[in-house]
Amino acid sequence: MRVNLSEDFKTKYKELLGDRAESLFQAIEVDSKNAFRLNPLKNNYQNVQYKLDQPIEYSKFGYFGDIDGNSIDHLSGYVYSQEPSAMYVAEVVDPKDEKVLDLCAAPGSKTTYLASLMGGSGLLVSNEINNKRARVLSSNVERMGIKNAIVINNSPKDLEGSFEGYFDKILVDAPCSGEGMFRKDPESVQYWSPEYVEQCANRQKHILDSAFFMLKDGGTLVYSTCTFAPEENENNIAEFVKRHPEMEIVPIKKYSGMEDGRPEWGHDNQDLTKALRMFPDKFDGEGHFICKMIKAGVEKSAKIRTFKNQPTKIEMSYLDKFIKQNLTSNNLSEIFKVKEDLYQAATFDNRFKKLHVLRNGLKLGEFKKNRFEPSISWMLTLKPDDLKSVYELDDDQFIKYLHGESVLIENDFSNKWIGLSYQGKLFSWGRYSNKQIKNVYPKGLRK
């Protein structure tokens, strides 16, 4: 692979790294190592077709290897392709049963990892300022079967008015110049310039200041980038903690190949050694920077101002009928309507009412004339025991169904809606009628 690094880039890192710069340039010419994560939110989640013989030591769910985006493991949300260096960011955040904000969340790699670690507890707020990218984020949250996330599409500045001192933990995986990803995305090299690095650093400063405002006293802020640039990393953090002396840089556990941050690149702030860097000449992954900080003070509980838009009694009767006919139990709670769509909410906090919300929790389905129809989002959170009927497709049937075709079967089912499974993994509803499974797979997902 040939990556055409600019002379300005080479000159900059020769000055910063000295003799080591050549080994970095050589590493950028070497092919990346691919990796993927398993999804513990899924039933029997380790039952995948991919080899699990190369675990990533710093990731609870990560493995080196390639996956097929058309495989049932991917379509059903059992696996997620993610660059190995990036996997460590969510582990550093270490979210629990608490309120967590992923401030720059698209396309969803780190959000879905945070959700895996949270295990369905707490509240995960996933924000993306770009609408198109926010929709990709929402689709990944859906595919991975995440119930406790609210996906929003706002600027960090817009969020400040609603969330002063609200979040226990905030991840700022900042939009950056992407130097650390040059070998995975060689085309990005053409966008690089010293001026672009400065633009990114300036934008990151404002994002960090918004995060500080929204973080609780005693809360944790994790800042990460996929760039080598000191302007976007050590320098930004040094200036941030100077603006906000309440923030303390705290140590991060470092594994083989991970290096200390460089105080000499950040106003000689010696605490920057507690941050970490990953350079591809020393570490088996792409370039990354991670810094973890704690906000001084004693945590205070933020009061929740609630809202609800409940279904009507007749709509509830349609839902109850659907559940009795097709599911083995009713575990729903905190349901609400958006137009004709029915959701199980991740939160009813009134703070979100003025924001652009793409999804609040789990979309269950929609009310149509005299009936309720379930969504694929709901299916992707269910286990076989939750359903009265599951049909296992064979290879030919699976291909046909993905193409949007109906499937003829010999089985008789007493209920109309059945779970469709392939290789033991639920991936869609099927509408059964007279020995035929009618296709309800969303058109946007068909192959």
The CATH number covering residue 416 comes to 3.10.450.720
Q: Among the three residues 244, 260, 295, which one is the final residue of a domain in this structure?
A: 295
Give the pLDDT score at 331: 86
Give the pLDDT score at 302: 61
- Asked whether residue 190 is domain-assigned, the answer is yes
pLDDT band at residue 2 using 50, 70 and 90 as cut-offs: confident
Buried b (16+ CB within 10 A) or exposed e, 48-61: bebeeeeebebbeb
pLDDT band at residue 242 using 50, 70 and 90 as cut-offs: very high
- Asked whether residue 34 is domain-assigned, the answer is no
- Tell me the C-alpha distance between 281 and 287, whole Å: 9
pLDDT higher than threshold 70 for residue 301: no
> For 8-41, what is each residue's pLDDT tens digit?
999 999 999 999 999 999 999 999 899 999 999 9
Binding site for S-adenosyl-L-methionine: which residues? 104-110, 128, 173
| Whether the Cβ atoms of residue 230 and residue 16 lie closer than 8 Å to each other | yes
**Of 168-177, 305-314, 352-361, where does mean pLDDT reach its minimum?**
305-314
286 & 392 share domain: no
Q: Among the three residues 295, 313, 348, which one is the final residue of a domain in this structure?
A: 295
288 & 431 share domain: no
Out of 176, 200, 226, 291, the active site residue is 226
CA distances to 153, 169, 191, 277 from 201, rounded to whole Å, are 22, 22, 15, 17
Give the pLDDT score at 406: 96
Mean pLDDT of 63-80: 96
Range of the domain at 436: 387-447
> For 414-432, what is each residue's pLDDT tens digit?
999 999 999 999 999 999 9
129 & 270 share domain: yes
- % of the chain at pLDDT higher than 90: 91
Mean of the per-residue pLDDT values for the chain? Answer: 95
Q: Among the three residues 295, 315, 338, which one is the final residue of a domain in this structure?
A: 295
- Asked whether residue 166 is domain-assigned, the answer is yes
Give the pLDDT score at 297: 84
pLDDT higher than threshold 80 for residue 181: yes
Binding site: which residues? 104-110, 128, 173
Q: What CATH number does residue 216 fall under?
A: 3.40.50.150
- Asked whether residue 192 is domain-assigned, the answer is yes
285 & 415 share domain: no
- Asked whether residue 12 is domain-assigned, the answer is no
pLDDT higher than threshold 70 for residue 299: no
- Asked whether residue 5 is domain-assigned, the answer is no
How many domains, in total, are found in the chain?
A: 2
- Tell me the C-alpha distance between 398 and 114, whole Å: 31
402 & 288 share domain: no
- Tell me the C-alpha distance between 172 and 166, whole Å: 15
152 & 258 share domain: yes
265 & 412 share domain: no
Question: By C-alpha distance, which of 435, 429, 423 is closest to 71?
Answer: 423
226 among known catalytic residues? yes
- Asked whether residue 234 is domain-assigned, the answer is yes
Give the pLDDT score at 38: 98
